[in-house]
Chain A
Amino acid sequence: MQWLDAVIQGVLLGGMYAQYALGMALMFGVMRIVNIAHGDVMILLSLIAVSLAGVLPFGNLGLIVVIVPIAVVIGWILQKFILNKVVGADPLPSLIATFGLSIALQNFMLEIWSADTRSLPNSDIASASFQIGSIYVGLLPVIVLITALVLTGGLDAVLRFSRFGRGLRAAAADTEAAAMTGVDPKRIYAIATAIAVGILGLAAVFAALRATVSPSDGSAQLIYAFEAVIIGGMGSVWGAFLGAMVLGVAQAIGLRIDPGLGILFGHLVFLAVLATRPEGIMARKK
């Protein structure tokens, strides 16, 4: 029974990781860029949410309505002033630029919010839970998981059927050929980053509701997002979702074995997937 409980808790945790991973999969898919400050941007949004919650009596839903547009603006700034300048075949400039940004952002947050852990004030949703058999399930993690499902399905549909989605897939396949067919790559990049960081805004509010955040937590979130994307298989949003589930379950099971092993188990599963199925568990066999 306790293993079933671990799997359920793991899947719920995976819902959170899926929200981190979707944006990363999207940005890497089209620009071949990994934003090392991905997790730090999420933490920044969480801390902004915590600070705003103290000033504005919005309620949690209202907070999401405020934070997501802020996230989209941050994404636009990131794209316009940094990422557009480092898109290219050489991975070094984008890595170094976003790495520098990550260091600066982490320490900027330390200056403003200090190293304390913070979270959004306890609400009914955050503490509510229900019971299935002998297993307790929190209401908030279920909402997070359902949100992740809806986001993944929505993003997948956008990529498949919308004009933007087709343009993005074309640019991802061959940027120059896409431009020759009338697709403006910079516009596609800008929208992709805005969506990616916008999703992070949603994740940021959930993260601050679910647990605590502190300025140095960003690196861990970056690594979880990355592991989910690789486990699932690059270039597929459902892959990222499934990878997040696997990562969450691995961590939950590790945690059940020994409290010190949770995160390590996640890393080990990632390395095992890399060793046995480097194309990811979702990838079609070639």
Chain B
Amino acid sequence: MAYSDKVVDHYNNPRNVGSLDKGQDDVGTGLVGAPECGDVMKLQIQVDDRSGVIEDAKFKTFGCGSAIASSSLATEWVKGKTVDEALEIKNTDIVKELSLPPVKIHCSVLAEDAIKAAISDWKAKHPAEASAETAG
């Protein structure tokens, strides 16, 4: 299988690899997938409590090159967005950006799930902000 240049680039130079302190109040952690399925993504966001803007994002991924690229790209995309804007990121956007073949679409789905899981973890820590934003 040939990988697209963008997948290869993210695989060779993954962006935002690492971990944030998941115990911290302004950090949301998403852990999705399963070792038995061959993909596990951990995506973390650090959110400014007042603006709701994602100031930092980190990931670690166990999975194929496309899974690594999808999560690497996801961290790039969420940075600087508000949590609500980040929720708008669709797996199909990732598929398009990375030119993923049909057999790799699940990698992009997992990346979208990871974003959502991280945001929902953060929201669970901030019930007030979360509802305010939904209202606004």
Do A and B form a real pair? no
**Chain A interface residues (CB < 8 Å from chain B):** none
Report B's interface with A, CB cutoff 8 A: none
